[in-house]
Structures are given as structure tokens and as C-alpha cells.
Amino acid sequence: MRIMLNRSAFYIVVFLIVFLSLLPFVWFVDTSLKTPLEITAIPPVLVPAGSLHSYQSAIEEYNLLHFVRNSIIVAGSTTLITLFVSILAGYALARLRIKFKGFIMGSLLLVSMFPQVSIAGPVWRILQDLGWLNTYQGIVIPYVTLTLPLGIWILASFFKELPVELEDAARIDGCSRFQMLVKIILPLAAPGVFTAAILVFIYAWNEFFFALLIMTQQKFQTLPVGIALFQGQYTLPWGEIAAASTVATMPLVLLVFLFQKRIVRGLSAGAVK
């Protein structure tokens, strides 16, 4: 009986946590499907009419697709560059004899803990001197530097799990170090690569602070900044904001649901031997 009560209490707590976590997402999806009258109705309308007015308005009046395109360019470029560098650096740290390897890994971890506000001034000044403010490379390069520690840590941990004997056999067959990495290591490390790619993409897709600081022209602004700057004539356009937030969140939700097993495996690499 006690075991059943403990199990029931556990499931109740899990349900409450999941419910409270999903409630904001469900609420703005619900709001995005309401008509303007339903959004401002008192008492609140819980079941929407299923109107797509907010989505149409967000696309036509607030240029939503433009911000989506910018976010895809920025997040996609950040992910590709970070993965390329992280794969090479992670493999080197996992397999090669490098002096002060522990210090390098610790430094990466330390850099990832810097608050964004503390480095915002120097980053902005460097980008200004380079003429990279309001450019794609001006936002992608800072994102790459911020996501590299995460990518390197994940991939280095995953590479360490792979048996060294596979590389020894490939070396006997005449493979170079780069050929071993491409033909043998990367296919086996696919879960770790997927994990790093998804987490980096999510970070770059959601990042707001540097995007707001660096991208002051609407032409280059990403989706989080674009949504934050939605403005109505007299009030905030809550329906359009909810619709844009749904568009911004839905791809990430789908990614996590589709690749959740690989994400868990990649994050837990090296935890259990």
C-alpha cells in the first residue's frame, strides 16, 4: 500500500510539473487561434474559435516571415560553424596527446559561464571597429564563440567513449587521422553530433540579448527581437505576438520530440562506464 501511495504521489508531482511547464505554451497557442474580440473578452474565452487572423496579421502587417528567414540563416550558420570546429577540437582533446588538456577543458567551461552583460561592451566595440554591426557575420561569430564550449564538451565526451581499437585497425589499413575521423568516428558519434547540433541551434534560435544589441536594423533582426518589437497603435497586438511565439516555438518542440533519445544519449555520454 505504501509503495502504491508513493508511486501515486510521484505521478501527481510529475503531472503538476509537466502541466505548469506546458501551460504558458498552451496558453499562447490558444490565444493565437482566437479572434480579436475573444482575446479581449471578459471573462476569458478558453476554447478559441480557431481563427487564423492573428497569423495572417503577423505575416502581412508585422513581416513575420522576414524574421523567420533571418533566424534560420543565423541559427543554421551558427550550428554548421560550431559543429565543424567542435568536431575537430573535440576529437583532438579526446584522442591526441595535448599538454594542459585539463586546463583547456576547464577554461572552456569557465568561458561558458561568463554572463553576457559582462562581455557585451567589448563585443560591441570589436564589431563596431570591424564594421560588422547589423550584419549576419556580426551576430553569427559571437554566437559561435558562445556555443563552442558546449559543442566541444559534448563531442569530446562522446569521442572518449568510442574504442581506440577501431582507430588502430584503421591506421593499420592505411587511413590517415582525418580519414579515420570522417569514415569511422563521425558515423559512430552521430548521437553526440545530433545532440550538439540541436542544442546549438536552439540557443542561436532563442538568443535575444546579443541579437537586440547588435541588430538594430529591422533588415537583420531575428525572430525573438522581431517579436519583442511588435507594437500596436494603442495596445500591444497580443494575438500577433502569440501567433509569432507559436511559430518560433513549434520547430524547437518538434526537434526535441523527434530526437529526444539521441539528445539524452549525447548528454549522458561518459557518465556511465
185: domain range? 62-267
Query: Under a CB-based contact definition with an 8 Å cutoff, are residues 38 and 48 in contact?
Result: yes
Query: Under a CB-based contact definition with an 8 Å cutoff, are residues 230 and 237 in contact?
Result: yes
0.85 cut: is pTM over it? Answer: yes
Residue 114 sits in a domain of what CATH number?
1.10.3720.10
- Is the confidence at residue 1, as pLDDT, over 80? no
- Is the confidence at residue 8, as pLDDT, over 90? no
- Is the confidence at residue 244, as pLDDT, over 80? yes
**25 domain-assigned:** no
**162 domain-assigned:** yes
**84 domain-assigned:** yes
Rounded to an integer, the average pLDDT of 9-26 is 86
Rounded to an integer, the average pLDDT of 191-207 is 90
- Is the confidence at residue 273, as pLDDT, over 50? no
Residue 25 CB coordination number (10 Å): 14
pLDDT reported for residue 5:
59
Question: pLDDT above 70 covers what percent of the chain?
Answer: 93
DSSP letter at 45?
Answer: P
DSSP notation for 80-133: HHHHHHHHHHHHHHHHS--TTHHHHHHHHHHHHTS-HHHHHHHHHHHHHHHT-T
**198 domain-assigned:** yes
**171 domain-assigned:** yes
Grid-cell match 526537434, residue found? 255
- Is the confidence at residue 141, as pLDDT, over 60? yes
- Is the confidence at residue 3, as pLDDT, over 70? no
Rounded to an integer, the average pLDDT of 242-255 is 89
**36 domain-assigned:** no
Nearest Cα residue to 192 out of 144, 147, 152, 154: 154
Residues 148, 78: Cα–Cα separation, whole Å: 10
Grid-cell match 511559430, residue found? 247
Number of domains in the chain: 1
- Going by C-beta distance under 8 Å and a sequence separation of 6 or more, which residues neighbour residue 55? 32, 243, 247
**11 domain-assigned:** no
**18 domain-assigned:** no
